[in-house]
Amino acid sequence: MEMRYQEADHERATPDAIRALQLARVRVLLAAVSATNGFYRDHWRAAGVGDVAEIDSLEAFAARIPTVGKADFLADQEAAPPFGRRHEHARSQGVALYVSTTSGTSGQGQEVHVQTQAEWDAMGRVYRFLHRWAGLDPGDGLALALPLTMLGGGRLEYQGAVSYGLSVYPVGNYDAARKLEVIRRFQPAGVMGITAYLGRLGSELDGIPAEGVRAILTGGEGAGVEWLRRLEETWQATVYDRYGSSQAGNDHMFTCEHGIGTSERPGVLHNVDPYVLTEVVDPATGAHVAPGEVGELVVTILYRHDTPIVRCRMGDRAVYRPGGSCRCGRPFMGVEVASIGRADDMRKIKGVNVWPQAVDDVVFEHEAVAEYQVVLSSGGGGNDVATLRAMPTAALGAEEHAALVQTLTRAVEQRIGIRFDVELVEPGAIPQSDWKARRWLDRRDHIVGAGSAPRSEGAA
C-alpha cells in the first residue's frame, strides 16, 4: 500500500523520538502557561506543583500535573463570566478570537472555549493529516455536512479543510435533498459529517452513488465497524474516521491508509503526536492503561499557549494502541476504531456492562435491518428487561419475520452475553436520526439514575 505521509520526518520517526519531541513541547508549554495563565497556575499549585521546570519527563507530567475537566471550566466561568480567568491572557492580546460554546440552550452547563488566530492556524496543520491520509489532494472538493453555529464542530472542520487546500462546499445548513443536489452537481471527492447523519444522507441516495465521491469522513460520535462498513457500501466510497472534541478545539486522531479495518481486526485512529499529547488512563487510579486495555482519554494540546488545554479529561473511553502497532508502522499512539464511547454511555444490564457500539456491530451485520432501538425497562420483579426493536429495510412475510427475530435473538445473546427480547417494527416506524444517533431508551425505574441524560456535546 502506498504510504501517504503529511510530515514524513515525524511519521517515520521512532516512538522514542516522538516521545522526546512531545516532552520538549510539554516543557515549553508548561513554562508559558505558568507565566501567563492564573487559572492553571492556581490549579497546579493546589496540587503541589511549585516550579514546572521540575517536570522533566512525560511520566512526571502525568503523575504531577492534575487533570482539568468540565466542572473546572464551569466554575471558572461562573467566577469570571462569561469567559473565565483561563481566557484572560488571550483576551488581552487584541487579536481575533474564535469563540465557541458546547451544546445547551442557556448558559447553564455550557462551556466556553476560545482560540487565538495562531492556535487556529496550528489546528489547521493537524487537520492536514486527516485529509492526506484519506487520499484527498489540495484542490479536491469537500462537501461539509455540518452546520456552522456557535459549536466548535463545523467551524473547526471548515478551517481544517481550507488549511489543507480543499474547496469546501458548506452544505450543513441545507436539508438532505439540497445537500445531495450540491454533491451531485459539483462532485466533491469527499463528504464530511457526523457518522449517523452520513448514514441518513446516504439513505437519500436511493441506491445511486454520488459520482466522484471517494472518501467519507465520519466522526463526532462512536459507531461500530459494521455500521461504518455499511456506510462504505451505501456511498461506494472509503470511510475514514476521526476523533476530537470542543475542548481540544480540533480533531486529532485519524485513520490511516488502512481505514477502519474489520470487526475482527479494527483499524487504528492515530493521534497526531507532534501536536497533541493523548493519554489513555484508568479513571479510578489515573495510571496509563496497557496496550489493548480500555481507559479514559486525557488530552493536552501542545500548541495552545494562549488558551491552554492541559491534561483535559474528555469523559470518553477507548481501547489503547501504542505507536507502531498498526500495519502502517507510524510511531504515533492511537486507539482502536469503533472503541470510542462516552464513559457514561455504558449500560449495566442484568449485571453485565454493555457498550452501545457492541450492539451496533451485532445488529448491523444483518443486512435486512435498517435501524434499531433498544428499550430498557423494569420487569415485575425489579429486574432489567432489554428489548431490541429492529426495523427491517422492507416489509417481511411471516416466515422471514420469524427467522429474523430468531437470528437476532441468538446473535445478541451470543455476542453480548445476555438475552434481549427482539421485536420487529414496520419500515418507517423508527425515525433515522438527523444528528447524533439516539438509539437507546432507558426507562428502568428500579435503578436510581439509570436513565442517561441526553448527550449532545458539540464534539468536533
Distance between CA atoms of residues 406 and 31, nearest Å: 62
Quick one: which segment of 174-182, 321-329, 363-371, 405-413 binds Zn ion (CB under 5 A)?
321-329
- Which residues in 168-207 contact Zn ion (CB under 5 A)? none
Interacting span for Zn ion (CB under 5 A) from 89-97, 175-183, 232-240, 327-335: 327-335
Find, among 190, 170, 229, 189, the residue nearest to 360 by Cα: 229
Q: Long-range contacts for 34-39 (Cβ within 8 Å, ≥24 apart)?
A: 36/89, 36/305, 37/86, 37/88, 37/89, 37/308, 38/85, 38/88, 39/76, 39/84, 39/85, 39/86, 39/88
CA 147, 76, 303 angle in degrees (round to 5)?
60
User: Whole-number minimum distance, CB 325 to Zn ion, in Å?
Assistant: 9
Shortest Å, Cβ 216 to Zn ion: 18
CA distance 343 to 316: 5
Q: How far is CA 387 from CA 349, 407, 440, in A?
A: 11, 15, 10
Q: Does 328 bind Zn ion (CB under 5 A)?
A: yes
CA-wise closest residue to 409 among 396, 401, 398, 421: 421
Amino acid at 255: T
Least CB distance to Zn ion at residue 171 (A): 30
Closer residue to Zn ion (CB): 2 or 399: 2
User: In the complex, what is the shortest distance from the CB of residue 373 to Zn ion, in angstroms, rounded to a whole number?
Assistant: 34
- How many residues form the binding site for Zn ion (CB under 5 A)? 3
Residues between 245 and 274 with contacts to Zn ion, criterion CB under 5 A: 256
Q: Where are the alpha helices (DSSP H) in 116-189?
A: 117-133, 152-164, 176-186
Output the smallest distance, CB 265 to Zn ion, in A: 12
Least separation in angstroms between CB 281 and Zn ion: 23
The amino acid occupying position 117 is Q
Q: How far is the CB of 334 from Zn ion (least distance, A)?
A: 8
Here the cell at position 117 is: 488566530
Nearer to Zn ion (CB atom), residue 335 or residue 422: 335
CB of 274 to Zn ion, least distance (A): 16
> Near Zn ion by CB under 5 A, which window of 90-98, 124-132, 193-201, 325-333?
325-333
Distance CA 405, CA 280 (A): 39
Nearest CB to Zn ion, comparing residues 30 and 328: 328
Residues from 383 through 442 that contact Zn ion (CB under 5 A): none
By C-alpha distance, which of 144, 336, 104 is closest to 222?
Answer: 336
3-state secondary structure 274-291: CCEEEEEECCCCCCECCC
Q: State in angstroms the smallest separation of the CB of 270 from Zn ion.
A: 6
Residue numbers 217-246 binding Zn ion by CB under 5 A: none
Is 253 or 404 the residue whose CB approaches Zn ion more closely? 253
Report in angstroms how near the CB of residue 133 gets to Zn ion at its nearest. 8
Q: Which of the residues 296 through 315 are near Zn ion (CB under 5 A)?
A: none
Nearer Cβ to Zn ion (141/267): 267
Whether cis (ω within 30° of 0) applies to the bond prior to 82 is yes
Q: Which CB, 214 or 258, lies closer to Zn ion?
A: 258
Q: Is 442 left (phi over 0), alpha (psi -120 to 50) or beta?
A: beta
Binds Zn ion (CB under 5 A): choice among 326, 333, 416, 460? 326
Give the nearer residue to Zn ion in terms of CB position, either 197 or 320: 320
Of the two residues 33 and 328, which places its CB atom closer to Zn ion in the complex?
328
Distance CA(378)–CA(442), nearest Å, equals 10
3-state secondary structure of 326: coil
Please report whether residue 335 would count as binding Zn ion according to CB under 5 A. no
Nearest approach in angstroms of CB 16 to Zn ion is 18
Residue (143 or 326) nearer to Zn ion, CB: 326
Q: Which of 194, 142, 154, 168 is nearest to 434 (CA)?
A: 194
Report in angstroms how near the CB of residue 3 gets to Zn ion at its nearest: 9
Contacts of 21 (CB under 8 A, 6+ apart): 10, 13, 273, 274
Q: Which is nearer to Zn ion, 37 or 278 (CB)?
A: 278
Pair 221, 435: CB distance under 8 Å = no
Q: Nearer Cβ to Zn ion, position 266 or 458? A: 266
Phi, psi of 340 (to 5 degrees): -85, 130
| CB nearer Zn ion, residue 328 or residue 412 | 328
Please tell me whether residue 134 binds Zn ion under the rule CB under 5 A.
no
Residues at the contact surface with Zn ion, assessed by CB under 5 A: 256, 326, 328
